[in-house]
Chain A
Amino acid sequence: MLPLWYFRTPRIIFGEDSLSFLDDHSSSKILVVTDNFLSNTPILKEVLSHLSGKDIKVFSEISPEPRLSEILKGRELASRLDPDTIIGLGGGSSMDAAKILFALHEMPDLSPFDISPINSIKLHQKSELIEIPTTSGTGSECSWAAVFSDDTEERKNEIASPEIMADYAILDPKLVLDLPKGITVNTATDAITHAIEAYTSQWRNPYSDAMAEKALDLILNNLPTVLVNPKDINARNSVHIGASMAGISFSNSQIGLAHALGHALGAIFKTPHGESVGLYLPHVTEFNYEAAKDRYDKINSFFPDEYRTDKVWETIRSYLNAIGQVTNVSEAGIERSKYEKELGKIVSLASESTGVITNARDASTKDIENIARSIL
Protein backbone atom coordinates (compact mmCIF):
# COMPACT_ATOMS: atom_id res chain seq x y z
CA MET A 1 0.00 0.00 0.00
CA LEU A 2 1.31 3.46 -0.87
CA PRO A 3 1.99 5.64 2.17
CA LEU A 4 0.11 8.93 2.52
CA TRP A 5 1.68 11.56 0.30
CA TYR A 6 0.81 14.71 -1.64
CA PHE A 7 1.14 15.90 -5.20
CA ARG A 8 1.86 19.59 -5.52
CA THR A 9 2.25 21.86 -8.49
CA PRO A 10 1.72 25.54 -9.25
CA ARG A 11 -0.79 26.67 -11.86
CA ILE A 12 1.12 26.56 -15.11
CA ILE A 13 0.73 28.83 -18.12
CA PHE A 14 2.62 27.47 -21.12
CA GLY A 15 2.95 27.70 -24.87
CA GLU A 16 2.98 30.55 -27.34
CA ASP A 17 2.67 34.04 -25.88
CA SER A 18 2.11 32.74 -22.37
CA LEU A 19 3.63 35.94 -20.97
CA SER A 20 0.37 37.63 -21.97
CA PHE A 21 -1.06 36.10 -18.79
CA LEU A 22 0.58 39.03 -17.01
CA ASP A 23 -1.48 41.57 -19.00
CA ASP A 24 -4.60 40.79 -17.00
CA HIS A 25 -3.04 39.74 -13.74
CA SER A 26 -4.57 41.74 -10.89
CA SER A 27 -1.37 43.12 -9.43
CA SER A 28 -0.49 46.73 -8.73
CA LYS A 29 2.89 46.66 -6.94
CA ILE A 30 5.41 44.22 -8.31
CA LEU A 31 8.91 43.25 -7.26
CA VAL A 32 10.85 41.53 -10.03
CA VAL A 33 13.75 39.41 -8.75
CA THR A 34 16.39 38.71 -11.35
CA ASP A 35 20.13 38.80 -12.02
CA ASN A 36 22.36 41.52 -13.34
CA PHE A 37 22.85 39.86 -16.73
CA LEU A 38 19.13 39.54 -17.48
CA SER A 39 18.43 43.09 -16.34
CA ASN A 40 20.35 44.30 -19.39
CA THR A 41 18.64 42.05 -21.93
CA PRO A 42 15.45 42.33 -23.99
CA ILE A 43 13.98 39.56 -21.84
CA LEU A 44 13.39 41.88 -18.89
CA LYS A 45 11.95 44.56 -21.20
CA GLU A 46 9.65 41.93 -22.70
CA VAL A 47 8.35 40.92 -19.28
CA LEU A 48 7.97 44.54 -18.12
CA SER A 49 6.01 45.36 -21.28
CA HIS A 50 3.25 43.12 -19.94
CA LEU A 51 3.15 45.05 -16.66
CA SER A 52 2.67 48.59 -17.93
CA GLY A 53 0.94 51.05 -15.63
CA LYS A 54 1.97 49.19 -12.50
CA ASP A 55 4.36 50.15 -9.72
CA ILE A 56 7.43 48.01 -10.45
CA LYS A 57 10.78 47.62 -8.76
CA VAL A 58 13.48 45.41 -10.21
CA PHE A 59 15.96 43.79 -7.85
CA SER A 60 18.76 42.51 -10.07
CA GLU A 61 21.51 41.63 -7.60
CA ILE A 62 21.12 37.86 -7.53
CA SER A 63 24.37 36.09 -8.36
CA PRO A 64 24.66 32.66 -10.02
CA GLU A 65 24.91 31.14 -6.54
CA PRO A 66 22.36 33.22 -4.60
CA ARG A 67 23.78 34.31 -1.28
CA LEU A 68 21.96 35.06 1.92
CA SER A 69 23.27 38.65 1.94
CA GLU A 70 21.73 39.30 -1.49
CA ILE A 71 18.39 37.91 -0.40
CA LEU A 72 18.39 40.03 2.75
CA LYS A 73 19.17 43.11 0.64
CA GLY A 74 16.18 42.25 -1.53
CA ARG A 75 14.04 41.99 1.58
CA GLU A 76 14.83 45.63 2.39
CA LEU A 77 13.57 46.68 -1.04
CA ALA A 78 10.47 44.52 -0.60
CA SER A 79 9.70 46.08 2.77
CA ARG A 80 9.78 49.54 1.18
CA LEU A 81 7.63 48.59 -1.83
CA ASP A 82 5.29 46.16 -0.05
CA PRO A 83 4.54 44.30 -3.30
CA ASP A 84 1.37 42.32 -3.90
CA THR A 85 3.24 40.24 -6.45
CA ILE A 86 6.80 38.95 -6.55
CA ILE A 87 8.12 37.70 -9.87
CA GLY A 88 11.18 35.48 -10.08
CA LEU A 89 12.68 35.89 -13.54
CA GLY A 90 15.71 33.92 -14.65
CA GLY A 91 17.39 30.63 -13.97
CA GLY A 92 17.24 28.62 -10.78
CA SER A 93 19.19 31.19 -8.80
CA SER A 94 16.76 34.06 -9.38
CA MET A 95 13.71 31.84 -8.97
CA ASP A 96 15.04 30.27 -5.76
CA ALA A 97 15.92 33.73 -4.42
CA ALA A 98 12.41 34.93 -5.30
CA LYS A 99 10.91 32.06 -3.29
CA ILE A 100 12.94 32.94 -0.21
CA LEU A 101 12.32 36.67 -0.65
CA PHE A 102 8.61 35.96 -1.00
CA ALA A 103 8.65 34.08 2.32
CA LEU A 104 10.60 36.86 4.05
CA HIS A 105 8.25 39.51 2.63
CA GLU A 106 5.21 37.61 3.86
CA MET A 107 6.75 36.92 7.26
CA PRO A 108 9.36 39.64 8.00
CA ASP A 109 10.53 37.99 11.23
CA LEU A 110 11.24 34.70 9.49
CA SER A 111 14.79 33.43 9.02
CA PRO A 112 15.47 31.57 5.76
CA PHE A 113 16.65 28.71 7.97
CA ASP A 114 13.15 28.48 9.46
CA ILE A 115 11.70 27.57 6.07
CA SER A 116 11.08 23.87 6.37
CA PRO A 117 8.38 21.42 5.37
CA ILE A 118 7.58 20.90 9.05
CA ASN A 119 7.02 24.50 10.12
CA SER A 120 3.67 26.00 9.16
CA ILE A 121 4.59 29.53 8.12
CA LYS A 122 1.27 30.62 6.54
CA LEU A 123 2.48 32.35 3.40
CA HIS A 124 0.43 33.66 0.43
CA GLN A 125 -1.49 35.99 2.78
CA LYS A 126 -0.60 39.33 1.21
CA SER A 127 1.13 38.57 -2.08
CA GLU A 128 1.46 36.11 -4.92
CA LEU A 129 4.57 34.49 -6.34
CA ILE A 130 5.04 34.11 -10.08
CA GLU A 131 8.05 32.28 -11.47
CA ILE A 132 9.20 32.79 -15.06
CA PRO A 133 12.12 30.58 -16.13
CA THR A 134 14.55 31.85 -18.77
CA THR A 135 16.43 28.55 -18.87
CA SER A 136 15.09 25.03 -19.39
CA GLY A 137 16.34 22.89 -16.58
CA THR A 138 16.18 23.88 -12.95
CA GLY A 139 12.46 23.21 -12.58
CA SER A 140 12.53 25.75 -9.76
CA GLU A 141 9.37 27.35 -11.12
CA CYS A 142 7.48 24.16 -10.24
CA SER A 143 9.26 22.99 -7.12
CA TRP A 144 8.92 23.77 -3.42
CA ALA A 145 12.65 23.71 -2.83
CA ALA A 146 15.26 26.44 -2.93
CA VAL A 147 19.01 26.53 -2.56
CA PHE A 148 21.09 29.41 -1.25
CA SER A 149 24.67 29.80 -0.11
CA ASP A 150 25.98 31.11 3.16
CA ASP A 151 28.27 34.11 2.91
CA THR A 152 30.49 32.68 5.61
CA GLU A 153 30.53 28.99 4.82
CA GLU A 154 31.11 26.84 1.73
CA ARG A 155 27.72 25.22 1.94
CA LYS A 156 24.64 25.14 -0.22
CA ASN A 157 21.62 25.19 2.04
CA GLU A 158 18.75 23.15 0.67
CA ILE A 159 15.47 24.41 2.06
CA ALA A 160 11.98 23.25 1.25
CA SER A 161 8.41 24.06 2.12
CA PRO A 162 5.22 23.57 0.15
CA GLU A 163 4.42 27.16 1.08
CA ILE A 164 7.22 28.63 -1.05
CA MET A 165 5.88 27.01 -4.19
CA ALA A 166 4.86 29.59 -6.80
CA ASP A 167 1.22 30.44 -7.39
CA TYR A 168 1.92 30.56 -11.11
CA ALA A 169 4.69 29.33 -13.41
CA ILE A 170 4.84 30.93 -16.84
CA LEU A 171 6.65 28.86 -19.46
CA ASP A 172 7.07 31.07 -22.50
CA PRO A 173 9.35 29.36 -25.04
CA LYS A 174 10.44 32.64 -26.63
CA LEU A 175 12.37 33.44 -23.44
CA VAL A 176 14.74 30.52 -24.10
CA LEU A 177 15.22 30.93 -27.85
CA ASP A 178 18.50 32.83 -27.43
CA LEU A 179 19.87 30.66 -24.64
CA PRO A 180 23.59 30.02 -25.36
CA LYS A 181 24.59 26.45 -26.12
CA GLY A 182 26.59 25.96 -22.90
CA ILE A 183 23.70 27.02 -20.68
CA THR A 184 21.26 24.99 -22.76
CA VAL A 185 23.38 21.87 -22.20
CA ASN A 186 23.96 22.51 -18.50
CA THR A 187 20.37 23.24 -17.63
CA ALA A 188 19.03 20.35 -19.70
CA THR A 189 21.49 18.02 -17.95
CA ASP A 190 20.06 19.21 -14.65
CA ALA A 191 16.54 18.45 -15.89
CA ILE A 192 17.52 14.99 -17.11
CA THR A 193 19.09 14.31 -13.71
CA HIS A 194 15.93 15.54 -11.95
CA ALA A 195 13.77 13.17 -13.95
CA ILE A 196 16.08 10.15 -13.50
CA GLU A 197 16.56 10.73 -9.78
CA ALA A 198 12.83 11.36 -9.23
CA TYR A 199 11.94 8.18 -11.14
CA THR A 200 14.25 6.06 -9.00
CA SER A 201 13.80 7.87 -5.69
CA GLN A 202 12.72 5.84 -2.68
CA TRP A 203 9.79 8.27 -2.40
CA ARG A 204 8.66 7.82 -6.00
CA ASN A 205 4.94 7.60 -6.65
CA PRO A 206 2.63 7.26 -9.66
CA TYR A 207 2.31 11.04 -10.11
CA SER A 208 6.02 11.75 -10.02
CA ASP A 209 6.57 8.74 -12.30
CA ALA A 210 4.22 10.12 -14.94
CA MET A 211 5.95 13.50 -14.89
CA ALA A 212 9.43 11.97 -15.02
CA GLU A 213 8.58 9.69 -17.94
CA LYS A 214 7.10 12.49 -20.03
CA ALA A 215 9.95 14.81 -19.08
CA LEU A 216 12.54 12.30 -20.32
CA ASP A 217 10.58 11.71 -23.51
CA LEU A 218 10.35 15.44 -24.28
CA ILE A 219 13.89 16.41 -23.30
CA LEU A 220 15.90 13.45 -24.62
CA ASN A 221 14.22 13.50 -28.03
CA ASN A 222 14.20 17.27 -28.55
CA LEU A 223 17.46 18.46 -27.03
CA PRO A 224 19.65 17.24 -29.93
CA THR A 225 17.41 19.23 -32.32
CA VAL A 226 17.72 22.33 -30.14
CA LEU A 227 21.51 22.05 -30.14
CA VAL A 228 21.59 21.86 -33.94
CA ASN A 229 18.87 24.45 -34.49
CA PRO A 230 18.54 26.68 -31.41
CA LYS A 231 15.74 28.74 -32.97
CA ASP A 232 13.47 25.72 -33.45
CA ILE A 233 10.71 26.98 -31.19
CA ASN A 234 8.81 23.69 -31.13
CA ALA A 235 11.86 21.74 -29.96
CA ARG A 236 12.69 24.53 -27.48
CA ASN A 237 9.12 24.44 -26.18
CA SER A 238 9.29 20.66 -25.69
CA VAL A 239 12.54 20.89 -23.72
CA HIS A 240 11.15 23.83 -21.73
CA ILE A 241 7.98 21.97 -20.75
CA GLY A 242 9.96 18.76 -20.16
CA ALA A 243 12.24 20.60 -17.74
CA SER A 244 9.27 21.91 -15.78
CA MET A 245 7.79 18.40 -15.65
CA ALA A 246 11.11 17.10 -14.34
CA GLY A 247 10.88 19.83 -11.70
CA ILE A 248 7.37 18.74 -10.73
CA SER A 249 8.58 15.15 -10.63
CA PHE A 250 11.53 15.64 -8.28
CA SER A 251 9.60 18.14 -6.21
CA ASN A 252 7.09 15.39 -5.47
CA SER A 253 9.51 12.51 -4.95
CA GLN A 254 12.89 14.09 -4.16
CA ILE A 255 16.40 13.89 -5.56
CA GLY A 256 19.26 11.44 -5.17
CA LEU A 257 23.00 11.15 -4.82
CA ALA A 258 23.92 12.94 -8.05
CA HIS A 259 22.30 16.06 -6.64
CA ALA A 260 23.72 15.53 -3.17
CA LEU A 261 27.24 15.35 -4.63
CA GLY A 262 26.54 18.03 -7.25
CA HIS A 263 25.49 20.54 -4.60
CA ALA A 264 28.64 19.77 -2.62
CA LEU A 265 30.86 20.20 -5.68
CA GLY A 266 29.14 23.45 -6.63
CA ALA A 267 29.50 24.83 -3.11
CA ILE A 268 33.26 24.27 -3.13
CA PHE A 269 34.31 24.78 -6.76
CA LYS A 270 31.46 27.00 -8.03
CA THR A 271 30.92 24.57 -10.89
CA PRO A 272 27.67 25.26 -12.79
CA HIS A 273 24.89 23.20 -11.26
CA GLY A 274 23.95 21.16 -14.33
CA GLU A 275 27.59 20.36 -14.96
CA SER A 276 28.02 19.29 -11.34
CA VAL A 277 25.12 16.85 -11.26
CA GLY A 278 25.90 15.59 -14.77
CA LEU A 279 29.44 14.69 -13.72
CA TYR A 280 28.13 12.28 -11.10
CA LEU A 281 24.96 11.00 -12.78
CA PRO A 282 26.45 8.04 -14.74
CA HIS A 283 28.45 6.88 -11.71
CA VAL A 284 25.48 7.20 -9.34
CA THR A 285 23.36 5.30 -11.85
CA GLU A 286 25.88 2.46 -11.99
CA PHE A 287 26.01 2.34 -8.19
CA ASN A 288 22.20 2.36 -7.89
CA TYR A 289 21.36 0.02 -10.75
CA GLU A 290 20.73 -3.24 -8.86
CA ALA A 291 18.52 -1.47 -6.32
CA ALA A 292 16.08 -0.25 -8.99
CA LYS A 293 16.89 -2.39 -12.01
CA ASP A 294 13.45 -2.27 -13.66
CA ARG A 295 13.27 1.47 -13.27
CA TYR A 296 16.67 2.03 -14.80
CA ASP A 297 15.92 -0.34 -17.67
CA LYS A 298 12.80 1.71 -18.37
CA ILE A 299 14.87 4.89 -18.27
CA ASN A 300 17.24 3.31 -20.79
CA SER A 301 14.33 2.80 -23.17
CA PHE A 302 13.57 6.54 -23.22
CA PHE A 303 16.91 7.41 -24.81
CA PRO A 304 17.01 7.70 -28.59
CA ASP A 305 18.31 4.53 -30.29
CA GLU A 306 21.63 6.02 -31.36
CA TYR A 307 22.74 6.52 -27.75
CA ARG A 308 21.32 3.35 -26.17
CA THR A 309 23.57 0.57 -24.93
CA ASP A 310 22.86 -2.47 -22.72
CA LYS A 311 23.95 -0.55 -19.65
CA VAL A 312 21.88 2.49 -18.74
CA TRP A 313 24.84 4.32 -17.17
CA GLU A 314 26.76 3.93 -20.44
CA THR A 315 23.71 5.19 -22.33
CA ILE A 316 23.59 8.25 -20.10
CA ARG A 317 27.32 8.80 -20.56
CA SER A 318 26.99 8.44 -24.33
CA TYR A 319 24.13 10.96 -24.43
CA LEU A 320 25.88 13.47 -22.19
CA ASN A 321 29.04 13.16 -24.29
CA ALA A 322 27.05 13.79 -27.45
CA ILE A 323 25.44 16.96 -26.11
CA GLY A 324 28.82 18.26 -24.94
CA GLN A 325 28.58 17.69 -21.21
CA VAL A 326 31.88 17.29 -19.34
CA THR A 327 32.67 13.86 -17.87
CA ASN A 328 35.53 14.38 -15.40
CA VAL A 329 37.05 17.01 -13.12
CA SER A 330 39.75 18.05 -15.58
CA GLU A 331 37.18 18.77 -18.29
CA ALA A 332 35.24 20.75 -15.69
CA GLY A 333 38.31 22.93 -15.18
CA ILE A 334 39.10 21.60 -11.72
CA GLU A 335 42.65 20.55 -10.91
CA ARG A 336 42.74 16.89 -9.88
CA SER A 337 44.94 17.62 -6.89
CA LYS A 338 42.58 20.33 -5.65
CA TYR A 339 39.60 18.02 -6.06
CA GLU A 340 41.38 15.25 -4.16
CA LYS A 341 42.24 17.70 -1.42
CA GLU A 342 38.57 18.67 -1.04
CA LEU A 343 37.24 15.12 -1.37
CA GLY A 344 36.58 14.74 2.36
CA LYS A 345 34.55 17.93 2.44
CA ILE A 346 32.59 16.96 -0.68
CA VAL A 347 31.69 13.61 0.88
CA SER A 348 30.80 15.24 4.19
CA LEU A 349 28.53 17.86 2.59
CA ALA A 350 26.90 15.28 0.32
CA SER A 351 26.24 13.02 3.30
CA GLU A 352 24.24 15.82 4.91
CA SER A 353 21.97 16.25 1.89
CA THR A 354 18.45 14.87 1.97
CA GLY A 355 19.26 13.37 -1.45
CA VAL A 356 21.14 10.63 0.37
CA ILE A 357 18.03 9.28 2.11
CA THR A 358 15.86 9.20 -0.99
CA ASN A 359 18.53 7.90 -3.35
CA ALA A 360 17.54 4.61 -4.98
CA ARG A 361 20.15 2.73 -2.98
CA ASP A 362 21.31 3.38 0.57
CA ALA A 363 24.88 4.65 0.44
CA SER A 364 27.51 4.61 3.18
CA THR A 365 30.14 7.31 3.54
CA LYS A 366 32.56 4.95 1.81
CA ASP A 367 30.13 4.45 -1.08
CA ILE A 368 29.72 8.21 -1.47
CA GLU A 369 33.49 8.64 -1.41
CA ASN A 370 33.93 5.98 -4.11
CA ILE A 371 31.41 7.73 -6.34
CA ALA A 372 33.06 11.08 -5.66
CA ARG A 373 36.41 9.58 -6.69
CA SER A 374 34.98 8.18 -9.90
CA ILE A 375 34.98 11.58 -11.64
CA LEU A 376 38.73 12.06 -11.18
Chain B
Amino acid sequence: MAKFPSDEWVSEYCNRLNNNPDYADAGKTWEGDILFVVQPDENYSKTEYIYIDLYHGKCRSAKYVHEGEEVPKAEFRYVGKYGNWIRLLNKEIDPIQGILTGKFKLEGSMMKIMRYTKAAKEMVNTAAQVKTEF
Protein backbone atom coordinates (compact mmCIF):
# COMPACT_ATOMS: atom_id res chain seq x y z
CA MET B 1 0.00 0.00 0.00
CA ALA B 2 1.41 3.36 -1.01
CA LYS B 3 0.11 6.56 0.53
CA PHE B 4 -1.22 9.17 -1.91
CA PRO B 5 0.63 11.38 -2.61
CA SER B 6 4.13 10.11 -1.74
CA ASP B 7 7.48 9.16 -3.28
CA GLU B 8 6.47 5.52 -3.06
CA TRP B 9 3.13 6.12 -4.81
CA VAL B 10 4.71 8.12 -7.63
CA SER B 11 7.41 5.51 -8.18
CA GLU B 12 4.85 2.70 -8.28
CA TYR B 13 2.64 4.72 -10.65
CA CYS B 14 5.50 5.35 -13.07
CA ASN B 15 6.39 1.62 -13.01
CA ARG B 16 2.81 0.65 -13.71
CA LEU B 17 2.56 3.10 -16.60
CA ASN B 18 5.70 1.53 -18.09
CA ASN B 19 4.21 -1.93 -17.77
CA ASN B 20 0.75 -1.08 -19.09
CA PRO B 21 0.32 -2.01 -22.76
CA ASP B 22 -2.98 -0.09 -22.92
CA TYR B 23 -1.27 3.13 -21.87
CA ALA B 24 1.69 2.41 -24.17
CA ASP B 25 -0.79 2.03 -27.04
CA ALA B 26 -2.90 5.12 -26.23
CA GLY B 27 0.12 7.34 -25.51
CA LYS B 28 2.45 6.07 -28.21
CA THR B 29 2.73 9.44 -29.95
CA TRP B 30 2.43 11.65 -26.86
CA GLU B 31 5.34 13.92 -25.97
CA GLY B 32 4.98 16.17 -22.97
CA ASP B 33 5.11 16.45 -19.23
CA ILE B 34 2.22 16.81 -16.82
CA LEU B 35 1.97 18.20 -13.32
CA PHE B 36 -0.72 16.75 -11.08
CA VAL B 37 -1.64 19.36 -8.48
CA VAL B 38 -3.25 18.13 -5.26
CA GLN B 39 -5.00 21.04 -3.60
CA PRO B 40 -6.02 21.24 0.04
CA ASP B 41 -9.57 20.71 1.24
CA GLU B 42 -11.25 20.13 4.60
CA ASN B 43 -9.44 16.79 4.97
CA TYR B 44 -6.02 17.75 3.63
CA SER B 45 -4.04 20.86 4.49
CA LYS B 46 -1.20 20.88 1.95
CA THR B 47 -0.72 21.69 -1.74
CA GLU B 48 1.43 18.99 -3.31
CA TYR B 49 2.56 18.06 -6.78
CA ILE B 50 3.34 15.03 -8.88
CA TYR B 51 5.49 15.66 -11.92
CA ILE B 52 5.42 13.09 -14.72
CA ASP B 53 7.45 13.17 -17.90
CA LEU B 54 5.70 11.11 -20.55
CA TYR B 55 7.19 10.22 -23.90
CA HIS B 56 5.89 7.80 -26.53
CA GLY B 57 3.83 5.69 -24.16
CA LYS B 58 6.43 5.55 -21.39
CA CYS B 59 6.99 7.37 -18.13
CA ARG B 60 10.54 8.68 -18.47
CA SER B 61 10.62 10.14 -14.99
CA ALA B 62 8.31 11.01 -12.15
CA LYS B 63 8.75 13.02 -8.99
CA TYR B 64 6.75 13.81 -5.89
CA VAL B 65 7.14 17.46 -4.96
CA HIS B 66 6.50 18.35 -1.33
CA GLU B 67 4.90 21.59 -0.29
CA GLY B 68 7.56 24.27 -0.12
CA GLU B 69 9.84 22.68 -2.71
CA GLU B 70 10.31 24.31 -6.10
CA VAL B 71 7.45 23.39 -8.38
CA PRO B 72 8.59 22.07 -11.78
CA LYS B 73 7.16 23.65 -14.91
CA ALA B 74 5.14 21.34 -17.13
CA GLU B 75 3.26 21.60 -20.41
CA PHE B 76 0.02 20.56 -18.70
CA ARG B 77 -1.32 20.95 -15.18
CA TYR B 78 -4.20 18.83 -13.93
CA VAL B 79 -5.47 20.46 -10.75
CA GLY B 80 -7.97 19.21 -8.18
CA LYS B 81 -8.75 19.07 -4.50
CA TYR B 82 -7.49 16.12 -2.46
CA GLY B 83 -10.99 14.69 -2.02
CA ASN B 84 -11.57 14.72 -5.78
CA TRP B 85 -8.24 12.95 -6.33
CA ILE B 86 -9.48 10.20 -4.03
CA ARG B 87 -12.67 9.91 -6.08
CA LEU B 88 -10.69 9.94 -9.32
CA LEU B 89 -8.32 7.18 -8.17
CA ASN B 90 -11.31 5.16 -6.97
CA LYS B 91 -12.77 5.64 -10.49
CA GLU B 92 -15.79 7.48 -9.14
CA ILE B 93 -14.98 10.45 -11.39
CA ASP B 94 -14.12 10.19 -15.07
CA PRO B 95 -10.99 12.28 -15.73
CA ILE B 96 -12.59 14.18 -18.61
CA GLN B 97 -16.01 14.55 -17.00
CA GLY B 98 -14.18 15.80 -13.95
CA ILE B 99 -12.83 18.70 -16.01
CA LEU B 100 -16.21 19.43 -17.59
CA THR B 101 -17.89 19.66 -14.20
CA GLY B 102 -15.20 21.77 -12.57
CA LYS B 103 -13.93 19.07 -10.21
CA PHE B 104 -10.58 19.34 -11.94
CA LYS B 105 -8.94 22.09 -13.94
CA LEU B 106 -6.74 21.46 -16.93
CA GLU B 107 -4.16 24.03 -17.95
CA GLY B 108 -2.40 23.64 -21.30
CA SER B 109 -3.22 23.34 -24.99
CA MET B 110 -6.77 22.05 -25.36
CA MET B 111 -6.20 21.30 -29.01
CA LYS B 112 -3.41 18.90 -28.14
CA ILE B 113 -5.02 17.24 -25.16
CA MET B 114 -8.34 16.64 -26.95
CA ARG B 115 -6.53 14.31 -29.34
CA TYR B 116 -5.20 12.28 -26.42
CA THR B 117 -8.27 11.76 -24.28
CA LYS B 118 -7.80 8.00 -24.54
CA ALA B 119 -4.28 8.32 -23.14
CA ALA B 120 -5.61 10.49 -20.30
CA LYS B 121 -8.19 7.86 -19.48
CA GLU B 122 -5.57 5.10 -19.50
CA MET B 123 -3.39 7.18 -17.19
CA VAL B 124 -6.21 7.27 -14.66
CA ASN B 125 -6.99 3.58 -15.16
CA THR B 126 -3.32 2.89 -14.41
CA ALA B 127 -3.33 5.11 -11.32
CA ALA B 128 -6.39 3.23 -10.07
CA GLN B 129 -4.34 0.01 -10.22
CA VAL B 130 -1.83 1.32 -7.67
CA LYS B 131 -2.70 -0.08 -4.26
CA THR B 132 -3.31 3.19 -2.49
CA GLU B 133 -4.08 4.38 1.00
CA PHE B 134 -5.40 7.86 1.61
Contacts and interface: CB of A to CB of B under 8 A. Distances in A.
Nearest to A117: B100
8 contacts: A1-B92, A6-B101, A118-B100, A118-B106, A118-B110, A352-B118, A354-B117, A362-B22
The interface size bin for chain B is 20 to 34
B94 interface: yes
Contact of A354 (B25, B111, B114): B114
A351 B97 CA distance: 19
Interface string A335-376: 000000000000000011010110000101110000000000
Contacts of B22: 362, 364
B121 interface: yes
B97 A5 contact: yes
Interface majority SS on B: helix, strand, loop or mixed? helix
Interface of A: 1, 3-6, 113-114, 116-119, 158, 202-203, 351-352, 354, 356-357, 362, 364-366
A356 B96 CA distance: 12
A202 B94 contact: yes
A113 B111 contact: yes
A203 B94 contact: yes
B103 interface: yes
Given A352-B116, A364-B22, A365-B25, A357 B96 contact: yes
A114 B94 contact: no
B93 interface: yes
Contacts of B97: 3, 5, 203
A202 B114 CA distance: 17
Nearest to A113: B111
Interface string B50-81: 00000000000000000000000000000000
Interface pairs A-B: 3 shortest CB-CB: A352-B115, A116-B110, A4-B101
B2 interface: no
A117 B101 CA distance: 10
Interface of B: 22, 25-26, 28, 92-94, 96-97, 99-101, 103, 106, 110-111, 114-118, 120-121
Given A5-B101, A117-B100, A119-B110, 11 more contacts: A3-B101, A4-B101, A116-B110, A116-B114, A158-B114, A202-B94, A352-B116, A356-B118, A357-B120, A357-B121, A365-B26
A365 B24 CA distance: 11
Contacts, number: 50
A90 to B, nearest CB: 26
Contacts of B121: 357, 362
Nearest to B87: A3
Contacts of A6: 101
Contacts of A114: 110
Contacts of A202: 94
A352 B116 CA distance: 6
Contacts of B26: 351, 365
A206 to B, nearest CB: 16
Contacts of B117: 354, 356-357
Nearest to A6: B101
A113 B28 CA distance: 24
A35 B120 CA distance: 38
A117 B100 CA distance: 6
B123 to A, nearest CB: 12
A9 B103 CA distance: 22
Nearest to B125: A362
Nearest to B101: A4
Contacts of B106: 118
Contacts of B103: 4
B106 to A, nearest CB: 6
B93 A3 contact: yes
Contacts of B100: 117-118
B110 to A, nearest CB: 4
